[in-house]
A and B are shown apart, each in its own frame.
Chain A
């Protein structure tokens, strides 16, 4: 029995989530081989959040800004995995010509405005992009992502207040993956339900299951439609879980194996796969076919990065000023 979604749409979601996962698995491997350095924050486990929410956008007029765990958002916005991997490699062919790295993915053409390495620093910036939309009387929206670690920064609270008083079309999405680096969010938050924080600013707040890509899609789609019609901010706490450590050097000893395994049973990819099988849209072979294609794409991205040139030293002084 077919549901309300087309096979094509669901396959796109599945492919996006698989691309994120395979891309990051490969990135982790290349990090281990010292091809990639510095901070590398993986999104594995959280795929449904970026995939489901960005699927609700029209990137001709909408914008995306996020924090340092930004590979997924860039890929779902349509950044070429080759260009993304090359940036991790620090190569000239990367999205930021090798000057940004993992935390600073940008694709201005596709309205993906970063990638920000300072916790919560992107939230006022995203709010400012909302101001531009409002000032120009456009019908776009901004998706502003951040983690549970950022929600206690002043920048979050200041931004919510500004967005409300100026009626800005910004949808604030807190990806609550349960841990701000190594700290369980319950240990450092006055409230366990973040969605109530928005009500303090007169903004509707809602909790969403971030392991179910369709639930994310539906919730964000509704908010996007409302914000387009009548500009105003929204807030979502999307409950999710990262399988890997905070960054590559984090062995994640602050949580139990049982907890991790329990969450892995709620894997966003498996949930969507199950749904699609139920609807008769895919089977093992169909799934494997997409997975193989994505894996191939990721290997090509690595080959591309390996064979790409390093930036010249002369480039040091380029793009400091416009």
Chain B
């Protein structure tokens, strides 16, 4: 069976390596231990020893080109073996890698936010009012938050101390032993009114106790509440990280793939009923989206041409149905992917979704959990949006936009009756999916939603 020869870390610090020279070519036999190429690392040019055996079937990364650790640089196997499967796998890997860039930039984003927090801190020491200071919080970044928090704390402390010392001119702090401070704090007395008898006038236990015996007690001081200010008004936020990736990917998709749109209205009475029953029987609320994913997967099974991707010189019909679902985050959007939906039941999908969405909101999704969707669903129904058109999320070639559910009066056999209706809009990439193909898919989906038992046909 054909195997991938992967770029290895040939120095402890290397991230990528450049193929300087191939010492073996396509068609050459190699054995374990053979030097097959020379790789320039960040440190030196190293010999790459193969542990694979067989014939080099294809060189993927040519001389002078870079590869990251783990990238396939060549394929080895038996002479004449079919390697199209491995090639397709590599191509999909590349697609995913492009998306993984998102993860990398996110770090950059937090750095920027961190720097902003530093700036905020610097401003604080320069003596600007607290209100301005806390605009740093609106970057919504933990680094900024903690910086801001430490500013709050030191502000409170200094306020407290100047109150305690009773010397607003900032002449210095009252010297007191920790024990003396604690006794004073517990008794609610102002330690600045106690005369210290320790070294350099330090207030010690016996001083506070003497003060207490003398019966003098001043009013306890309160802490100043500092209110946070928030707001984006008037600020320019640099485009970094996730925002940048969203901008690039969606622009590419919208500009490069010829979108067309199909719309129809479905009745969801049966679906709602099915959901109600399922909820009852399992004793939990199964999400509406889990049903949608399941039914879309069923419709895709019947219409595999829709579960496909455009790769320039070929179209790949994906081996599994991996459905992405758009999830709004505070600072952007991410599409966690439920893999192998064609094999999963509604409850499995529901469980997966719950987990993925939770991880998405916590910012903990791994690149392979939010990339590689073969089909995507975007549901804005909960906002009351009746219908909308969505931008296709590659490598998939279609995206389903789901609108809100509303009761409407419709004519059934000439009799006006009230029905729960929902509007679906399918965006398709015409390079992959022709109009009739998209239409057939959408029709099948409608049938299944309106009569869920059809999912079993």
A interface residues (Cβ-Cβ under 8 A, vs B): 25-26, 28-29, 31-34, 243, 248-249, 251, 264
Contacts and interface: CB of A to CB of B under 8 A. Distances in A.
A251 B46 contact: yes
Contact of A32 (B8, B33, B44, B47): B8
B43 to A, nearest CB: 9
A25 B50 CA distance: 9
B113 interface: no
B32 interface: yes
Given A32-B8, A248-B12, 4 more contacts: A29-B6, A29-B8, A29-B51, A33-B8
A183 B120 CA distance: 55
Contact of B32 (A25, A31, A33, A249): A25
A310 to B, nearest CB: 15
B11 to A, nearest CB: 6
B70 interface: yes
Contacts of A249: 11-12
Contacts of B69: 32-34
Nearest to A244: B49
A19 to B, nearest CB: 14
Interface in B1-51: 6-12, 32-33, 44, 46-47, 51
Interface of B: 6-12, 32-33, 44, 46-47, 51, 69-70
A248 B9 CA distance: 9
B6 A33 contact: yes
B33 A243 contact: yes
Nearest to B7: A32
A28 B51 contact: yes
Contact of A251 (B33, B44, B70): B44
A251 B48 CA distance: 10
Nearest to A24: B51
A32 B47 CA distance: 13
A26 B51 contact: yes
A37 to B, nearest CB: 9
Nearest to A248: B12
Nearest to A44: B33
Contact of B70 (A33, A243, A248): A33
A307 B401 CA distance: 38
A25 B34 CA distance: 12
B12 to A, nearest CB: 5
Contacts of A251: 44, 46-47
Nearest to A37: B12
A31 B9 contact: yes
Nearest to B52: A29
Contacts of B70: 33
Nearest to B70: A33
A26 B50 CA distance: 11
Nearest to A264: B33
Nearest 10 Cβ contacts at the A-B interface? A32-B8, A25-B51, A32-B9, A249-B12, A29-B51, A33-B70, A251-B46, A34-B9, A25-B32, A34-B69
